[in-house]
Amino acid sequence: MIAFVLIMILALVPTLFGADSYKIKAIRYATIAQFPVSSLVIGASEDDSLDIAMVVWLVQGHDRNILFDSGYYRKTLSKRFNLTDFIRPDEAVKLAGVAADDITDIIISHAHWDHMGGIDLFPNATVWIQEKEFEYYLGPAWQEGGKHGGIDPQDLLSLVRRNTEGKVRFVDGDDVEIFSGIRAFSGARHTFASQYILVEGEKPVVLASDNCYLYRNLAMHLPVATFSPEDGPANLAALDRMLFLAGAPERVIPGHDPALFSKVAGAGRVVTIR
């Protein structure tokens, strides 16, 4: 009888504590009006534009409140864009029911200003970033021949400061488990070493960030802007892999598509993915 009870408990463990226990929400903290689609979907019409969503992702479970990307609050680079309806990401996350101090971890997809610029707003969070992304943008990116477009030096200083506090963790390469049920994948090359994540479960979800800007990238099989033109095929291969990992196109969540906020249940700035 005792053995039977133990077997039943073990059978319930994946249900009680597995990846499906993660809740996922998309939180829109701003909009860039009339953004050229040709900068998002390589090969799209030069005349096409779209009001794109600026988003962070809240993944909750296993006693953790995890942000995938942190948004931004400095105006250093944002002033180049026609931004509307901005609220600071910490205030936006509060709309999803979580205080900034309660964010335990931030997984950074890549170092661009609108994805890494908000880490200061979540003071207790441990930051997870690809080790090669960290090394490149703190070194070779600023040397002759380096590329640092879209990188705010102030964000890098914040990252270094968080590291000196012992609260940066490096993700080493592809298909790496960060937490039970959450894996990081590289290879999309939106930046030097950008990453996306898979939240596992019966209905797995891929959070692509800028490794897939819009649903159109998937539907038309066209890459996003990549670190170098020769990286386009790597991004296309990553799109195919995202579809495989998620098991259904609707479970690959692009980084900036406003359609997300009408495709899934929710209201206003916060929608529930799972």
How is 61-97 classified by DSSP, letter by letter?
A: ETTEEEEE-------TTGGGS-EES---HHHHHHHTT
Tokens 């880490």 found at: 119
For residue 73, is it left (φ>0), alpha (ψ between -120 and 50) or beta? Answer: alpha
Sorting pLDDT into bands at 50, 70 and 90, what band is 18?
Answer: low
Q: Which two tokens stand for residue 97?
A: 């029911």
Q: What is the 3-state secondary structure (H, E, C) of 158-181?
A: HHHHHHHCCCEEEECCCCEEEECC
Give the pLDDT of residue 16. 43
Residue-level pLDDT at 248: 96
* Res 227: pLDDT: 93
Q: Please say whether the beta carbons of 24 and 207 come within 8 A.
A: yes
Strand stretches in 118-269, DSSP E = 126-130, 168-171, 176-179, 182-186, 195-199, 205-209, 252-254, 266-267
Across the chain, what does the average pLDDT equal? 92
Average pLDDT over residues 146-156: 98
* Domain residue spans of the chain: 22-272
**CATH for 22-272?**
3.60.15.10
Residue 159 bridge partners (DSSP): none
- The helix or strand, by DSSP H or E, that contains position 222, with its residue range, turns out to be none
Indicate the pTM of the whole model.
Answer: 0.92
Q: Work out the average pLDDT over 185-214.
A: 97
Q: 44-85 pLDDT, tens per residue?
A: 999 999 999 999 999 999 999 999 999 999 999 999 999 999
Residue pointed to by tokens 């019409």: 45
* Closest by CA position to 151, among listed 184, 191, 199: 191
